[in-house]
């Protein structure tokens, strides 16, 4: 008796297992794709969060730069330069933050535009610092105005790059988070300040107190201090030591280097010689003061002296505060 072959049954089982395997592979592929898309979406969201922080910081920086030029007549030169430096550091911090952010492939082009924008704005602030110094110190020279125009061109380049960044973000896959990004325009038409080198030069040049001003002053006091008078001349009590404290201060708007402070103790008696002592302050920033101690003086009891302390710098614009002097008697031994 003949039996039918088993091959068709085996083939049916094989097809069933292949079908099950194929379905399983499809399911796995779908899961892997979903996980990848979820991971990509999370990475994009993380990147755009960083971009939002950078953009928000630059909105503030752009507004502060506009305010700086609007109120330039209300600040002195050190404050103007300090504000510029703060703005530059803000951009530098944003550049560092952006450089440290992981960049998913889907936002690589957008990241490129944002990087160019921040770098251009940062370069502009670097140039502005030098350009403004040139305008203030080289009145009538064209160099400062030209550097201002170059800095403003970098601001506009940054604005254009940022606009391209926003377009790239808007073009992302709808399934990816687009974020909520601020518009940034340092030199946009809505600004109250027209970023034109010639106009800004005129505005800066019209503010006298922004010009270079060198002014060092000095005052002094003795230890012990005078106690009473004789013939309308102060009398310094007798003591074991006689000390003069001289306070030299920079009342100008430029740092001063190697500031010399000279002390003279001048006796009225021909039996004594004038004592001259010089001390030097290496650096004196605008608004800074230093106290110098002269403790090797030995005025004789009963003597009449003139004490004179002077300090000058090149181009000092107020000679009246460069010298402090006092006549005094040194009291006899108690």
Length of the chain in terms of residues written: 334
Judge whether residue 63 has pLDDT over 90: yes
Return the pLDDT at 34: 40
Phi, psi of 313 (to 5 degrees): -135, 165
Question: Domain 216-330 belongs to what architecture?
Answer: Sandwich (2.60)
pLDDT tens sequence across 228-262: 888 899 999 988 889 999 999 988 877 888 999 99
* CA distances, 118 to each of 93, 158, 162, 186 (Å): 10, 7, 8, 11
For residue 316, is the peptide bond before it cis, meaning its omega torsion is within 30 degrees of 0? no
Using alpha carbons only, give the angle 268, 269, 275 rounded to the nearest 5 degrees.
70
pLDDT tens digits for range 114-160: 999 999 999 999 999 888 888 877 755 668 889 999 999 999 999 99
- Is residue 168's pLDDT more than 50? yes
**Confidence band, pLDDT 50/70/90 cuts, at residue 323:** very high
Residue (of 62, 66, 317, 61) closest to 203 by Cα position = 66
Can you give the residue ranges of every domain in the chain? 7-210, 216-330
With a cut of 90, say whether residue 332 has pLDDT above it: no
Name the band, by pLDDT with cuts 50, 70 and 90, for residue 31: very low
pLDDT on residue 46: 85
For residue 155, give the nearest of 182, 192, 118 by alpha carbon.
118
Question: Do the Cβ atoms of 114 and 161 come closer than 8 Å?
Answer: yes
* Residue 30, pLDDT above cutoff 90: no
- 66-92 mean pLDDT: 85
Does residue 11 carry a pLDDT above 80? no
The pLDDT score that the predictor gives to residue 183 is 87
Q: What is the pTM of this model?
A: 0.56
Mean pLDDT confidence for 290-307: 92
DSSP letters, 21-39, are: HHHHHHHHHHHHHHHHHHH
Distance CA(58)–CA(41), nearest Å, equals 25
86-112 mean pLDDT: 88
The predicted model gives 39-68 an average pLDDT of 86
Report the C-alpha gap between 138 and 134 in whole angstroms: 5
Helix (H, G, I), strand (E, B) or coil at 122: helix
Pick from 193, 184, 134: nearest CA to 163: 184
Q: What is the pLDDT of residue 74?
A: 78
Greater model confidence, 170 or 329: 329
| More reliable by pLDDT, 263 or 19 | 263
**pLDDT of the residue at 307:** 95
Higher pLDDT, 42 or 283: 283
Report whether 222 contacts 307 (CB < 8 A): yes
The chain-wide mean pLDDT, for the chain, equals 82
Looking at residues 298-306, what average pLDDT do you find?
Answer: 91
- The predicted pLDDT at position 33 comes to 42
CA 6 to chain centre: 87
E strands, the chain, in order: 216-223, 229-230, 233-236, 242-250, 256-267, 275-284, 289-297, 304-312, 323-330
Better-predicted residue by pLDDT, 40 or 243: 243
Tell me the mean pLDDT in the region 265-286: 90
Does the structure show a pLDDT above 50 at 35? no
């Amino acid at each position: 008796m003949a039996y039918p072959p088993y091959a068709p049954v085996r083939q049916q089982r094989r097809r069933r297992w292949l079908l099950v395997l194929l379905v399983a592979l499809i399911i796995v592929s779908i899961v892997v794709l979903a996980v990848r898309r979820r991971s990509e979406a999370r990475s994009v969201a993380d990147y755009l969060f960083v971009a939002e922080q950078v953009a928000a910081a630059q909105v503030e920086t752009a507004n502060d730069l506009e305010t700086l030029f609007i109120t330039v007549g209300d600040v002195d030169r050190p404050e103007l330069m300090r504000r510029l430096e703060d703005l530059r550091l803000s951009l530098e911090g944003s550049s560092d933050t952006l450089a440290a952010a992981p960049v998913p492939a889907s936002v690589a082009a957008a990241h490129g535009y944002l990087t160019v924008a921040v770098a251009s704005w940062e370069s502009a602030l670097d140039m502005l610092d030098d350009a403004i110094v040139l305008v203030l110190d080289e009145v009538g020279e064209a160099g400062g105005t030209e550097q201002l125009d170059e800095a403003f061109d970098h601001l506009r380049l940054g604005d254009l790059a940022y606009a391209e960044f926003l377009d790239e973000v808007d073009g992302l896959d709808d399934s990816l988070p687009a974020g909520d990004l601020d518009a940034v325009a340092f030199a946009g038409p809505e600004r109250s300040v027209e970023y034109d080198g010639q106009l800004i030069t005129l505005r800066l040049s019209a503010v006298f107190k922004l010009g270079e001003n060198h002014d060092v002053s000095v005052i002094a006091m003795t230890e012990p201090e005078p106690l009473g008078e004789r013939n309308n001349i102060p009398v310094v009590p007798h003591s074991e030591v006689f000390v003069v404290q001289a306070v030299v201060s920079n009342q100008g708007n430029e740092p001063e280097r190697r500031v010399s402070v000279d002390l003279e103790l001048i006796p009225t008696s021909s039996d004594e010689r004038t004592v001259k002592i010089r001390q030097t302050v290496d650096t004196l920033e605008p608004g800074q003061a230093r106290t110098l101690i002269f403790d090797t003086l030995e005025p004789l009891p009963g003597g009449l002296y003139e004490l004179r302390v002077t300090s000058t710098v090149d181009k000092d614009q107020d000679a009246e505060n460069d010298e402090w002097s006092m006549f005094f008697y040194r009291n006899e031994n108690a």
